[in-house]
Amino acid sequence: MKSIFKLLMGAVIITAASCSGNGSKSTVDTDSTAAYNSSSTEAATDSNKKALEAKDSTEVFDDTKFAVAAANGGLMEVQLGKLAQTKGLSPKVLEFGKMMVEDHSKANKELMALAGTKTITLPAILDNKTQKDYDDMAKLSKTDFDKAYTDYMVKDHKEDIDEFEKEAKDGKDAELKAFAAKHVPILTHHLEMAQQAADAVKK
C-alpha cells in the first residue's frame, strides 16, 4: 500500500472485493447512495466533498478520504496477495499471500457495506503508481519476487497502521472510527507475519 493515501485510482462499478478489493464482483445499484463509480481516487474524493458540502457535512471529509484510501489499499493487498500465490516460492510467502486475500477481502466488503449507508464513493482500480508497482513485481523471477513482495508488505503495513490509528483516534464519523480501531490489531498481525516472511526469504 505505499501510503494508503497515495494508492489506487478507480474506474468501474466497485466490486465486493477484499482488506481491500479484487474478489468476486457484484454490481452496486447506481441509484443507491453507495454508487461506487469513480473514475479515479481524485474523482472519488471530489465527489465525496461535493456530496458532503451539499449536506453541510464537510467536517467529516477527512473520514471519507480515509475510507477511499482504505478501499484503495485493500484492493492492492488482494491483488498482490493473489500474485504472491502464483509467483511465491517460500511457503511463508504463499501462506502470507493467502492470508492477505482472505483478510482484506473481508475488510473490503465490510467497508463497502459501511460506505453504502453513507454518501461515500469508493474507487475500484489501482492508480498508475500502484499499478506500476504491481506490474514490476509481476515481471520478477520467483526468487526475486519473494524478497520484493515481503519488503513491500512490511513497509506498507507500517504505513497502514499509522493511518488506521490516526482515524481511530481523530476521526469524526463514529462508524469509520470503529472500523479503523477494529482493524488496527489485524494490520498489526499482518505486519508481524510480513516480517516473519521477510526474514524467512533472507535466510
CA dist 103 and 98 (Å) reads: 9
Q: For domain 4-202, is the CATH number 1.20.1260.10?
A: yes
> What is the pLDDT, as a whole number, of residue 102?
97
Region of residue 55 (left: phi > 0; alpha: psi -120 to 50; beta: else): alpha
Q: Kindly report which listed range (12-21, 98-107, 178-187) carries the lowest average pLDDT score.
A: 12-21
118-133 pLDDT per residue, tens: 878 887 787 777 888 9
Whole-number percent of the chain with pLDDT over 70: 70
Question: Are the C-beta atoms of 41 and 125 separated by less than 8 Å?
Answer: no
- Residues belonging to the chain: 203
Looking at per-residue pLDDT, the higher value among 175 and 57 belongs to 175
Residue spans per domain, the chain: 4-202
